[in-house]
Amino acid sequence: MVTRIKTSAKPVFVDRKDALVAEERFFERLRNNLHALQGIFNPLDGRTYDASARNRIEKSLDVRTAEVKHAIKRLAERDLQGLYEEMPKNRILLNEITHKELLGARGVKVVVAGAAFNPIEDLISSGRSARSMGGEELARIKDLIVAHPDVFYYLGAFATTSWDPGCRTLLIGPNYLIALCDRIEDAWRTYWAPDTRWRGAARAFDLAGEEEKIEAVHRFVRRRPFALLMDEMTEDYVFEELGYAIPIIREAFERIAAEDPFVRFDTGARPYRLIRTYG
Amino acid sequence: MNGSRMLENIKRILGLKDIPEELSSLYRGAHNEREALILLKEARRRDESRRRRALQDLEVFTQMEEELLEEGKGEVSESRRLMLARRVKEIRGKSEELNSRIDNIYNKRLRIFNEHIHSLETVLELTTEELPDKQAMEEMAIRAKELLENLEKSRELAEGIALSTEPPQPDEEEKQILKEMERRASLEAEKEEIEPAPPEPAEEREGVSEERREIRKERPREEPKRVENPEIEFEE
């Protein structure tokens, strides 16, 4: 019997610049995904609405940006403007999908939102942080965004550091679904609340392309030789860590095994895994 | 790359369609020493890289074991310490397995490969220059010896003949001619005794000859008359 043990993960620090860049990239990718979105499902009325540009209104909420400014004023002593420019802004981006009935006014049916989460106080005071984002802040922002009970909200919450495991319990509501996004070892990672209502909307928060994901799995495997040696590099393990779909993980495993003569893709038993071979 | 693919590549490089196993016992059906050497070197390279990989894996195990022991040292929870201990036990088991693989398989096999490669290289080196056939060499040596012996015999014979040969005996006519020669010689001798010729003074002759030599020395060598430019001569 093999003892599975979780070793204490080393904290990954993010500085102001990294956080700012990551935040900008998150919104850039989210926008790209939204442009590619043709229709979006509203679980409240069971209808799929046209999500093309003419039915989409992009809005930006400045509430949290103002909070960042206040925090800088409170914690920093000099060069406030310079500091503000360096800092991530904890932005919120709303994309309202509207629809006009034959006889009626145009109304918002679905909102696809993106929100960035940063350890603002740490970044102001010490310039860097490894603090993960907690459930409280997530719940606060969710309440801020989810304002109308007859509109369905899909929210992509991006943390430049990481998320507390407890946050996973807060992702499902009657008129909202939340996806937790972060970055692990230079790879985009998304955790979707397990819910059948996601349908095609889940793609909006899938921030990495297929090749990027395969490359990310490559890096992940390469940096964990111990898991490979202990026969623990399973597709489930990679799924837990990176959140990528199993077919993508298998594709990456196949490529790794084809490239490395000392690695074999063992499909003899589930979960499929990569194992060390010297043969 | 597995063994069969490597073999396929070698066949392609060597332009061979197939290498039947039963053709040769050199190594994996190689046709000749050179092919066997290539295959063996490939096999050695594969084993070396296996050993290198195994050693790197051992380092990973050692490092992880160290980390877990460190973690266990400061761990207060008994259950967590027990889990860490179990994990270390597993790692040690794997390390032992790997060490045994290195010692019992790779090291031994590499020694064998090295030995065989050395032998093949020696054979190839020695066969780069063709040696003459043994029988031909033997025949030639015998022939050379015989010829030398014949030569020696001929020489001895020649010497033997030279020692035993008497001077040729003249026949009757020759005897008469010889007598005639002797007679003439005695006649000339008698004539010289009756009219002796006045001897020339040796000193005088020597002096004259020396004088002549000096004259030869002193006389400057006549320069060949140079033919001047005819036009210039005409103007003068």
Out of B1, B64, B101, the one facing A226 most closely (by C-beta) is B64
C-alpha torsion angle, residues A239, A244, A246, A248 (rounded to 10): -130
Q: How far apart are CA B56 and CA B194, in angstroms?
A: 127
Query: Which domain does B28 fall in, by range?
Result: 3-131
B86–A3 CB contact, under 8 Å = yes
- Burial-class residue B29 by CB neighbours within 10 Å (0-12, 13-18, 19+): middle
Kindly list the residues from chain A whose CB atom is less than 8 angstroms away from the CB atom of residue B60.
225-226, 229
Closest CA to A195 of A162, A163, A173: A173
Count CB pairs under 8 A between chains A and B.
34
What pLDDT score does B196 carry? Answer: 59
Encoded amino acid at A41, one letter = F
Q: What is the ipTM of this complex?
A: 0.76
Q: How far apart are CA B99 and CA B93, in angstroms?
A: 10
CA distance A164 to chain B (A): 22
Backbone angles phi, psi at A94, to 5 degrees: -115, 135
Which chain A residue lies closest to B91 (C-alpha atoms)?
Answer: A230
Contacts of A43 (CB under 8 A, 6+ apart): A152, A197
DSSP H or E run through A191? strand A187-192
Q: Is residue B59 part of a domain?
A: yes
Out of B60, B71, B90, the one facing A2 most closely (by C-beta) is B90
What pLDDT score does B32 carry? Answer: 82
Q: Is residue B21 part of a domain?
A: yes
CA distance B69 to chain A (A): 12
DSSP E strands in A73-131: the ranges are 92-100, 106-117, 128-129
Kindly list the residues from chain A whose CB atom is less than 8 angstroms away from the CB atom of residue B87.
3, 5
Out of A3, A8, A276, the one facing B57 most closely (by C-beta) is A276
Contacts of A92 (CB under 8 A, 6+ apart): A60, A61, A63, A64, A113, A114, A115, A116, A141, A144, A145
Taking chain B (236 residues) in consecutive chunks of 10 residues, what is each chunk's mean pLDDT?
Answer: 61 61 61 86 94 96 94 88 93 95 94 91 87 90 95 90 70 90 90 67 49 50 47 41
Kindly list the residues from chain A whose CB atom is less than 8 angstroms away from the CB atom of residue B90.
2-3, 230
Would you mind telling me the total number of residues written for chain A in this entry? 279
Kindly list the residues from chain A whose CB atom is less than 8 angstroms away from the CB atom of residue B1.
261
> What is the DSSP code string of B18-87?
---GGG-TTTTT-SSHHHHHHHHHHHHHHHHHHHHHHHHHHHHHHHHHHHHHHHHHH---HHHHHHHHHH
pLDDT at A179 over 60: yes
β-strand partners of A118: none
A7–B61 CB contact, under 8 Å = no
pLDDT average, residue stretch A226-254:
94
pLDDT average, residue stretch A114-142:
95
What pLDDT score does B25 carry? Answer: 65
More confident of the two residues A105 and A138: A138
A278–B67 CB contact, under 8 Å = no
Q: How far apart are CA A208 and CA B63, in angstroms?
A: 33
What pLDDT score does A9 carry? Answer: 61
Could you tell me which residues of chain A have a Cβ less than 8 Å from any Cβ in chain B? 2-3, 5, 7-8, 225-226, 229-230, 261-262, 276, 278
Q: Is residue B168 part of a domain?
A: no
What pLDDT score does B164 carry? Answer: 57
Handedness of CA A202, A206, A209, A215 (dihedral sign): negative
Q: Is residue B35 part of a domain?
A: yes
Contacts of A109 (CB under 8 A, 6+ apart): A42, A45, A47, A49, A97, A98, A99, A151, A152
Specify the number of domains making up chain B.
1
What pLDDT score does A172 carry? Answer: 96
Tokens encoding B81? 């310490």
Domains of chain A in start order, with CATH, are: 14-207 (no CATH), 208-279 (1.10.10)
β-strand partners of A115: A92, A157
3-state helix, strand, coil in chain B (%, to 5): 80, 0, 20
Mutate to test the interface with A, among B53, B65, B99, B107 (most CBs of A within 10 A): B53
Question: How much of chain A, in percent, has pLDDT values that exceed 70?
Answer: 96
Instruction: Give the CA angle between residues B175, B181, B187 to the nearest 5°.
Output: 135
Kindly list the residues from chain B whose CB atom is less than 8 angstroms away from the CB atom of residue A8.
71
Q: Is residue B187 part of a domain?
A: no
Contacts of A127 (CB under 8 A, 6+ apart): A15, A16
Please name the residue ranges forming H helices in A2-53: 16-36
Using CA atoms, how far residue A131 sits from A16, A26, A92, A96, A259, in Å, is 13, 19, 20, 32, 37
C-alpha torsion angle, residues A71, A123, A145, A96 (rounded to 10): 120
A278–B86 CB contact, under 8 Å = no
Q: Is residue B182 part of a domain?
A: no
pLDDT at A177 over 60: yes
Q: Is residue B85 part of a domain?
A: yes
Q: How far apart are CA A154 and CA A175, in angstroms?
A: 9
What pLDDT score does A4 carry? Answer: 58
Q: Is residue B152 part of a domain?
A: no
